Amino acid sequence: MSAELNRLNAMPAAEAEVAFLQCCGSSKWAQKMTKKRPHRDLDVLCKAADRVWWSLRREDWLEAFSRHPKIGERAAAKPSDGHAQEWSQQEQSAASGARQDVLAELTEANRAYFERFGYIFIVCATGKTSEEMLALLKQRLQNDPNAELRIVAEEQRRITRLRLEKLLQMDVKT
């Protein structure tokens, strides 16, 4: 077991919830993950994270979604604590260097997406160009609302897994 995972397992519940909340913006997810400690290793941690995520209700998912900035923007509707904002900027780094016309299209597509579904477009942006994210956004605008909610939840699950790995690569107290 890594030293970082040992620290996460040993922290007071309130501190652990804050650390978990940086990985997934759902308060209920963070609370449940805290109660599931100790986690033996990253694989066990990620499997628990997935089980907890899929056990949550729609409103818990929406809370997590609200803590993300829109693709191409820097600030989330509900600000994130700690490293979550920094991680989000890293994950969306391709969008920060996008051409002005692509950023304008992202802004318009984000607006249309929010109007259609009632929450922001979420994609695991790591490794994707701004043009790829724009194409995905436009494609997903055509989805049935129930199908799209499941897609967004899966994207959030993938983001959470990446962030759990990042959390365990750093001193979790910072």
Contacts of 69-72 with C-beta under 8 Å, sequence gap 24+, read 70/106, 70/107, 70/110, 70/120, 70/121, 71/95, 71/106, 71/110, 71/121, 71/123, 71/125, 71/130, 71/133, 71/134, 71/137, 72/98, 72/103, 72/106, 72/107, 72/110, 72/130, 72/133
CB burial readout 28-53, b (16+ within 10 A) else e: bbbbbbbeebebeebeebbebbeebb
Sequence-separated (6 or more) residues with CB below 8 Å from residue 51: none
| 68 labelled catalytic | yes
Choosing from 32, 67, 68, 161, the catalytic residue is 68
What are the catalytic residues? 68
